[in-house]
Amino acid sequence: MDAIDVILTKRDGGRLSDEQIDWFIRSYTDGTVGDEQAAALLMAILFRGLDGDELARWTQQMIATGIRADLSGIGKPTVDKHSTGGVGDKLSLIVCPLVAACGAAVPQAAGRGLGHTGGTLDKMEAIPGWRSTLSAAEAETVLRNSGAVINAAGPDLAPADRKLYALRDITGTVESIPLIASSIMSKKIAEGTGALVLDVKVGSGAFMKDPDRARELAETMVALGAAHDVRTVALLTQMDVPLGRTAGNALEVEEAVAVLAGGGPADVVALSLDLAREMLALVGLDGTDPADLLTDGRAMDAWQAMVRAQGGDPTAPLPRATEVEVVPAPTTGTLSRLDAMGVGVAAWRLGAGRAHKDDAVSTTAGVVWHATVGDHVETGQPLLELHLDDPARLPHALEALDGAIEVSATPVPPPPLVLGRVT
């Protein structure tokens, strides 16, 4: 097999054979094929695509470069959820213990934030003592004992994806739908879950800003799940407006805990329940209404058990920023625009996010908003709070909010949370 032949096949619009895919993934992972030839193939795929059979084989071989966990001995049906990333999206912190409390096991291999979107691991690490990196044996023990685990993806989980993801990031091939789908699904399938619910965000603060492309990505990932015997459903959800009332690591943990205690913002509660119900239906546990567990304390019990099982103290105070800057409402009326991208970039610039994967993040920095689209506001009332520890970051954060807020003299309805469903 020769790398040039593989590149030319796809460059000229041909179909890659199983043998070509197997050889390329294996050879790039072990270093036989270099970055320059791999980059050429990724660019050819960006322009020419992969058909369903090619993509299923490509994903299968990415999984095969590592291990596929066997969770059959857990004794409970396994189901996970994955979000494509948004602003204020703390739903994994809620849904994982909530679904565990309903009787399923939730094995979540989670990631870190990059740019304006937050990462589940960064949020959980705001909890004193909580450990993000567990061995496979430790993760299985936590899953067995507490019903849910949120863990950093280990080096044995689709290692081909780690190399390909880094290469896509520097070669302008990030937006290829087959490559996005195989990256997400190879890790989710390898983690050993039997079912999966995808939350595909659409809008200004999402990776996918176009609804048609978001649906295409959702359909592609659902098909990949089916091809690998993982029952998969996707919801398309809006991300023009940030979710909830907070963006930032400790701030989002606090909001998630409020929801688990039976309170919290209505949009976060509603979407958490939508996702939880989809997860439970996939594994035949839809006889339990997860809303009941938010009000009777069982969801909170599951959260505390999950946090303790990974070394965290769920009763410890969360860290807080040393400074808070208030942004007032500019006029009286209905908040008609609160741009998710503007809020996300502001939180990032305050220190909540990272520009490069090795950057440190602040646990305390972030943005709180006291109203969302559709709410009435009065001139001068506190609209946003910018939480920070480094005053030098404030001007750039305020710049990100230029044009992000609009108030209308006439009523404006809030946008729908769920835009579509793909099965």
Looking at the fold, whether 36 and 133 belong to one and the same domain comes out as no
pLDDT of residue 167: 94
Residue 417 within a domain: no
Each residue of 277-316: b (16+ CB within 10 Å) or e? bbbbebbebeebebbebbeeebbbebbbbbbbbbebebee
Residue 55 within a domain: no
Residue 64 within a domain: no
Looking at the fold, whether 202 and 87 belong to one and the same domain comes out as yes
Q: What is the pLDDT of residues 272-326, one digit of tens each?
A: 999 999 999 999 999 999 999 999 999 999 999 999 999 999 999 999 999 999 9
Residue pair 279/197 in contact by the 8 Å Cβ criterion: yes
Identified catalytic residue from 162, 187, 231, 393: 187
Q: What is the number of other CB atoms lying within 10 angstroms of the CB of residue 345?
A: 24
The question of whether 183 is a catalytic residue gets the answer: yes
Residue 58 within a domain: no
Per-residue pLDDT of the chain (423 residues; tens, 9 = 90+): 899 999 999 999 999 999 999 999 999 999 999 999 999 999 999 999 999 999 999 999 999 999 999 999 999 999 999 999 999 999 999 999 999 999 999 999 998 887 788 899 999 999 999 999 999 999 999 999 999 999 998 889 999 999 999 999 899 998 999 999 999 999 999 999 999 999 999 999 999 999 999 999 999 999 999 999 999 999 999 999 999 999 999 999 999 999 999 999 999 999 999 999 999 999 999 999 999 999 999 999 999 999 999 999 999 999 999 999 999 999 999 999 999 999 999 999 999 998 887 788 999 999 999 999 999 999 999 999 999 999 999 999 999 999 999 999 999 999 999 999 999
Looking at the fold, whether 162 and 238 belong to one and the same domain comes out as yes
Query: What CATH number is attached to the domain comprising 12?
Result: 1.20.970.10
Looking at the fold, whether 284 and 376 belong to one and the same domain comes out as no
Each residue of 9-36: b (16+ CB within 10 Å) or e? bbbeeeebeeebbbbbbbbbbeeebeee
Looking at the fold, whether 166 and 295 belong to one and the same domain comes out as yes
Looking at the fold, whether 157 and 261 belong to one and the same domain comes out as yes
Q: Provide the edge-to-edge strand list for the sheet that holds 405-408.
A: 376-377, 333-338, 405-408
The question of whether 168 is a catalytic residue gets the answer: yes
Domain final residue pick, 281, 309, 337? 309
Identified catalytic residue from 123, 168, 228, 298: 168
Q: What is the pLDDT of residues 356-403, one digit of tens each?
A: 877 889 999 999 999 999 999 999 999 999 999 999 999 999 999 999
Query: What CATH number is attached to the domain comprising 115?
Result: 3.40.1030.10
Looking at the fold, whether 301 and 336 belong to one and the same domain comes out as no
Looking at the fold, whether 232 and 305 belong to one and the same domain comes out as yes
Identified catalytic residue from 83, 182, 183, 362: 183
Looking at the fold, whether 101 and 232 belong to one and the same domain comes out as yes
Domain final residue pick, 309, 338, 358? 309
| Chain centre distance of CA 222 | 16
Q: What is the DSSP string of 332-369?
A: SEEEEEE-HHHHHHHHIIIIIS-SSTT----SS-EEEE
The question of whether 53 is a catalytic residue gets the answer: no
Residue 222 within a domain: yes
Identified catalytic residue from 81, 82, 277, 354: 82
Looking at the fold, whether 294 and 341 belong to one and the same domain comes out as no
Q: What is the pTM of this model?
A: 0.96
Looking at the fold, whether 127 and 40 belong to one and the same domain comes out as no
Domain carrying residue 16: 3-49
Residue written as token pair 């939730």: 106
The question of whether 188 is a catalytic residue gets the answer: no
Residue 27 within a domain: yes
- What's the number of domains the chain is made of? 3
The question of whether 228 is a catalytic residue gets the answer: no
Identified catalytic residue from 122, 161, 199, 274: 161
